[in-house]
Amino acid sequence: MGPSSRYAALRLAALTKTFGRKMVVDHIDLEVPRGSFFGLVGPNGAGKTTSLSMAVGLLRPDGGRAEIFGLDAWADPARAKKLIGVLPDGLSMPERLTGRELLRFTGLLRGMELKEVERRAGELLEVLELDEAERTLVMEYSTGMRKKIGLATALLHAPRLLVLDEPLEAVDPVSAASIKVILQRFVGSGGSVVFSSHVMALVEQLCDHVAVIASGRVVASGTLEAVRAGRSLEERFVSLVGGQVPEVGELAWLSS
Amino acid sequence: MAVLLIQMKLAVLRHSMTGRRAAQMVTGALTGLALAGGLIVLAGRDYPLASLPFDLLGVGFALWTAGWLLGPTLFGGGDETLRPEHFSLLSFTPRRLAAGLAGAAFVGVAPLVTLVAFSALVVVAVKAGVGAAATAVGVLAVVLQLVVCVLASRLVTAVLGQVMRSKVGAALAALVSAAILAGLHSSWVLSPLVQAALRTGFPAPFSACVVALPSGWGLVAVRAAGQGQWPTVAVALAGLAALGVMCWYGWAALLKRRLTTRRPSGRPVRVASGGWAKGPMTAVAARELRTWSRDLLRFHYLVFALCYALAFCLLPLAIDAPIFLPWTGAVFALWVAAISANLYGEDGTELWCKMMVPGAARHDVRGRQLAWLLVTAPPTLVLTAAMVVFTGEFGLWPWLAALVPALLSGGAGVTVLMSVLRPVPMTDPHRRGGNLLENGTDFAQVLLVLILTAATAAPAYFAVRLGPVWAGPVMGLAGGAAMAWLLGRLAATRLESSAPELLLHLRTGVSPKRRRPAAALDLARPHLPKPDLGLDKLGLDLAPTGRRAYVIASLTLCWVPLVAQGIVPALMLTTGHVTPSWLLALHLPQHLQWPTIIAMIALGLVLLTTGLGIGLYYLARSRRDGIKLDDGP
């Protein structure tokens, strides 16, 4: 079933979440065009992870809507979830399986044919250079390997939208390079990617669209060029979120 | 440094004195003080024999010390308020750190309560009139005994923490805790012996054993001081002091090991083909079976259930009572259910993987049920068959053929339902340090599952009791299958509807509170904040007052007719061990006994089902309204 081409890959409308008294996500509106490589940047605690969790159906919002190719992620989760692949940050996986077992059982749980699962799993493991870790449990994987097997799980059912939370956080440069290539190929073949990061250089290198989130609100959103407004993304980001560079003279005791 | 660490610990304790933690701490302190008070009363009473208070206190101190040594292993964790890892980058030698942490270890509720308990030693000295010098020896011994207790507890917990990183260690720990628990539960075997001892004194070898244990050395010192045998006093006190130093040295060495070594990683595993897993449900079952064999915690639990069943059913052989032997399999099944009802809690935040797969909830629940049966049923059946052959109790077959399948199916249903309804959040598997002690057992959950699983066998029990000979086995199999199906369906439905809340709970450890629907507020009436009874958690916030009261009252009271006035007298009449007590049916003429019991059980069931029915109706309504509000524009 092909997602209708009228709709954006992901659309958040007035999405809201409050934890205790703190409004972590404050009526966020966001539109990720189909076929785009979309970067979500913001300081720690800005609400990136919370927004993405609500967008894909992992955290129930207090208000607002999340649509995936026009399908309401909360009212029609079964159809919406078929179209997305998700890689959350810091959550557990079926830790006591090897990478291949994880892919096999995930595919079977999705109702795929065993043969097809095995074929895709083999290819994914090879491309992500995980085939050597055939007999290692996921819980023994390094951070980079965990991200890679997570990405493989997200890609297994050929989704149309990938939602990735900090996919390259703490990943070594070699693994990062192979993940980047796979993501670019995915977008090249018509897929859409949303990923959160606080590494500006990475977002500038990969993305064509970007949104800046601070204190639970979208403070800028659009094509990379429009958001940058002629400056580097980092300069623009710091000016948008109101950070300040420490002045000379502070922490003088460090140089003694 | 010790002073600084004590200040740190006091600060942490102060900050954690909120809500549930504070309540736990106060309850623990009061329970401990009650037990300590019991020891003091024991020391101050009059006895027919002069040696009796010393022997009794010896036993009391031995049990108290055993609690210190094994408590952390059985109940999880031990005192980790200050973790040595926090200080590993500071420039302390491990021994200095151990000294500081040892100092801090004496700060807290438990050492204080123990000090009160051990002061029974001084009481017994005063009571026995052994003189001022002997009483002073008692005071010194109390302090030394406390030091040994706290430090030995640290050492033993650290040793077990290291040992339990391997399968052998996990099995060993399971064996020890199963033996202790089964021993406690079979203590009725010992009660005639104890009663005799209270009249005529303990047998000499037993008294010798009690004072030979380090927990009895303080008593030895006090008695010897009373008789003027000062060399013995010196040896006993010096022994305590030396033991304390040795425990501290050993603990310091283990602390160094803990801070400087990491468990090996990247071990290859045996990979089974898993070729039989071809669909969603079998895939889940295959994954679960791998968890059962690869997860140290689950392996530990499984060995525990087996050892407990064997110990519990074999111990009465000591007084020539083989009555439990044919039920070993059933006891095993019951305990496997009790310790595997936190399936989602153990897997942790992995739940998100299933949430991203449309329709996975149903397959996941059914697959887990299948895996549970594959793990539990074969040993249960083998144990049952073997013990029946061993005891020759072939006449029990209608009971066994009814109750064993009923318990197995009930376990398969209750475990998944409980895993969804009452998960106990745990550290995610990949963040666990490999030490099983980090995740304590939730005893409330264990107890709840034991009761519920046993209750699922009730229809089979009554079918055997009241029906023709074929009724029991048929009810056990068919009724059990229906029960497993129904409970699994409830679990799947619940998982489907509340997975995001469950994930949040597992992720943060905080049970999510749904928002009270705005419609429930009556703005026309001025209202004061009511005490929160957790009604919104039960879904009763929308129910009218009368029905709310009925649900709470019926669910609280239904157990009296159902269990206390129904099942218990039924069991007594069946087994022939009749103690009328407050059981109404047993005070009536014989021909009215069974009708009364049946009426009581029926009353209990009516209360239970109507209360549950109304409660679940409002729970569903409250949840639906809550979601409607959440998703509203």
B60-73, pLDDT tens digit by residue?
Answer: 999 899 888 877 76
CA distance A19 to A60: 12
Give contacts of B633 with chain A, Cβ < 8 Å: 65
Going by C-alpha positions, the residue among B184, B214, B219 that lies closest to residue B68 is B214
Of B271, B355, B632, the CB nearest to A57: B355
Give the model confidence (pLDDT) of A164-207 as tens digits.
999 988 788 888 898 899 999 999 999 999 999 988 889 999 99
Are B229 and B301 in the same domain?
no
CB B50 within 8 A of CB B222: no
SS3 B610: helix
Domain count within chain A:
1
The residue ranking higher by pLDDT, B378 or A235, is B378
Beta-sheet pairing, A192-197 with A161-165: parallel
Please check whether residue A95 is in contact with residue B350, taking contact to mean a CB–CB distance below 8 angstroms. yes
Q: Which two tokens stand for residue B47?
A: 């006895």
Asked if residue A78 is part of any domain, the answer here is yes
Which residues from chain A sit within 8 angstroms of residue B359, using beta carbons? Answer: 78, 111
For residue B183, the distance in angstroms to the closest alpha carbon of chain A comes to 34
With CA atoms as reference, report the closest residue to B170 among B443, B445, B439.
B439
**Can you tell me the distance from the alpha carbon of B536 to that of B513, in angstroms, rounded to the nearest whole number?**
8
Residue B228 has a pLDDT of 82
pLDDT band at B515 (very low <50, low <70, confident <90, very high): very low
Strands A37-41 and A63-68: unpaired
Q: Would A88 be classed as within a structural domain?
A: yes
Q: Are residues B245 and B315 in the same domain?
A: no
CB A133, CB A126: distance < 8 Å? no
Per-residue pLDDT for B581 more than 80?
no
How far does A9 lie from chain B, in Å, by closest CA? 17
What distance in Å separates residue B429's CA from the closest CA in chain A? 7
> Does B439 share its domain with B552?
no
Report whether A19 contacts A12 (CB < 8 A). Answer: no
Cβ distance A57 to B356 less than 8 Å, yes or no, reads yes
Instruction: Give B-chain residues touching A57 at CB under 8 angstroms.
Output: 355-356, 500
- Interface probe, candidates B262, B263, B269, B353, chain A, greatest A C-beta count within 10 A: B353
Residue B37 lies in a domain: no
Q: Taking CB atoms and an 8 Å limit, are B294 and A96 in contact across chains?
A: yes
Confidence of residue B435 (pLDDT cuts 50, 70, 90): low
Q: How far is B146 from chain A (nearest CA, A)?
A: 41
What is the number of alpha carbons within 13 Å of residue B99 lying toward its C-beta?
7
**Chain B residues with CB-CB distance to A61 below 8 A:** 630-631
- Please give the pLDDT value at position B627: 41
- Looking at the predicted structure, is the pLDDT value of residue B310 above 70? yes
Residues B492 and B421: beta-carbon distance below 8 Å? no
**pLDDT exceeds 50 at position B531:** no
B69 and B167 fall within a common domain: yes
pLDDT, mean of each 10-residue run, chain A (256 residues): 72 92 91 94 89 93 94 92 92 90 93 93 90 82 90 94 91 88 93 92 93 92 92 89 69 74
Residue B627 distance to chain A (closest CA, Å): 9
Residue B76, C-beta contacts closer than 8 angstroms, at least 6 positions apart? B437, B438, B439, B440, B441
Query: Do both B135 and B234 map to the same domain?
Result: yes
Is B272 within the bounds of a domain? no
Q: Residue B406 and residue B475: Cα distance in Å, rounded?
A: 8
Is B235 a residue whose pLDDT tops 80? Answer: yes
CB-nearest to B353 from A75, A93, A104 is A93
Contact between B219 and B64 under an 8 Å Cβ cutoff? The reply is no
Q: What's the pLDDT at B441?
A: 66
User: At B249, which helix (H) or strand (E)?
Assistant: helix B230-260
Whole-number Cα distances in Å, B620 to A108, A121, B484, B545, B627: 32, 41, 22, 17, 11
The number of folded domains in chain B is: 3
DSSP structure class, residue B76? S
Whole-number pLDDT of residue B540:
62
ipTM of the complex: 0.89
- Chain B's closest residue to A102, CA to CA, is B287
Residue B39: partners with Cβ closer than 8 Å, 6 or more residues away:
B57, B60, B61, B64, B117, B120
Q: Does residue B248 sit in the same domain as residue B171?
A: yes
Query: What does the pLDDT look like over A114-137, one tens digit per residue?
Result: 999 999 999 999 988 887 777 888
Q: Write B309-315 long-range contacts (CB < 8 A, 24+).
A: B309/B335, B309/B383, B311/B178, B311/B179, B311/B182, B311/B183, B311/B186, B312/B182, B312/B185, B312/B186, B313/B387, B315/B182, B315/B183, B315/B186, B315/B189
Same domain? For B173 and B119 the reply is yes
Classify residue B129 as left (phi > 0), alpha (psi -120 to 50) or beta.
left
Question: Is residue B233 domain-shared with residue B336, that is, in the same domain?
Answer: no
* Percentage of chain B exceeding pLDDT 70: 85
Count the residues in chain B. Answer: 633
Average pLDDT over chain B, rounded to an integer: 81
Structural domain range at position A198? 10-95+158-255
Residue B436 shares a structural domain with residue B295: yes
User: Considering the domain boundaries, does residue B16 fall inside one?
Assistant: no
User: Counting one residue from A and one from B, how many pairs have CB atoms under 8 Å apart?
Assistant: 124
Residues of A in contact with B282 (CB under 8 A): 108
Of the CA atoms within 13 Å of residue B110, those in its CB half-sphere come to: 19
CATH number (domain holding residue A220): 3.40.50.300
Which residues of chain B make contact with A27, given a CB cutoff of 8 A? Answer: none
> B210 and B97, same structural domain?
yes
Q: What are residue A194's DSSP bridge partners?
A: A38, A163
Q: Where are the beta strands (DSSP E) in A52-191?
A: 63-68, 71-72, 84-87, 161-165
Asked if residue B17 has pLDDT above 80, the reply is no
Residues of A in contact with B280 (CB under 8 A): 108-111
Q: Is position B268 within any domain? A: no
B553-582 CB burial, b ≥16 within 10 A, e <16? ebbeebbebbbbbbbbbbebbeeeeeeeee
Q: Is residue A52 part of a domain?
A: yes
Which chain B residues are Cβ-neighbours of A85 within 8 angstroms? 356
Q: Is residue A223 part of a domain?
A: yes
Q: How far apart are CA B429 and CA B431, in angstroms?
A: 5
Question: For strand A37-41 and strand A22-32, is the pairing parallel, antiparallel, or unpaired?
Answer: unpaired
C-alpha to C-alpha distance for B271 and B285, rounded to whole angstroms: 16
β strands within chain A, DSSP E: 10-19, 22-32, 37-41, 63-68, 71-72, 84-87, 161-165, 192-197, 209-214, 217-223
- What distance in Å separates the CA atoms of residue B389 and residue B76, rounded to the nearest whole number? 39
**A50 in any annotated domain:** yes
Say if CB B496 and CB B487 are below 8 A apart. no
Residue of B nearest to A16 (CA): B630
- B496 and B541 both lie in a single domain: no
B254-279 b/e with 16+ CB inside 10 Å = b? bbbebeeeeeeeeeebeeeebeebee
Q: Which amino acid is at B405?
A: P
Parallel/antiparallel/unpaired status of strands A84-87 and A161-165: parallel
Q: What is the DSSP letter of A245?
A: P
Tens digits of residue pLDDT in B280-298:
999 999 999 999 888 888 8
Residue B551 pLDDT level (bands cut at 50, 70, 90): confident
Out of A129-143, B21-35, B137-151, B429-443, least confident range = B429-443
Place of tokens 């600060």: B11
Q: What is the DSSP string of B100-149?
A: HHHHHHT-SHHHHHHHHHHTHHHHHHHHHT--HHHHHHHHHHHHHHHHHH
Range of the domain at B541: 535-633
Give the long-range contacts of residues A231-238, CB within 8 A, separation 24 or more.
Answer: A232/A200, A232/A204, A233/A41, A233/A200, A233/A203, A233/A204, A234/A200, A234/A201, A236/A212, A237/A41, A237/A200, A237/A212
Cα separation, A181 vs A173, in Å, equals 12
Q: Is residue B275 part of a domain?
A: no
> Given B287, B357, B507, which is nearest A97 (Cβ)?
B287
* Residue B625 in this model has a pLDDT that exceeds 70: no
pLDDT mean over B586-593: 83
What are the b/e assignments for B604-621, b being 16+ CB within 10 Å? beebbeebeebbeebbee
Q: What single-letter DSSP state applies at residue B633? A: -
User: How does pLDDT run across B257-283, given as a tens digit for each residue?
Assistant: 777 776 554 456 676 666 788 889 999
Residues 6 or more apart in contact with residue A243 via CB below 8 angstroms: A43
Q: Are residues B495 and B405 both part of a single domain?
A: yes
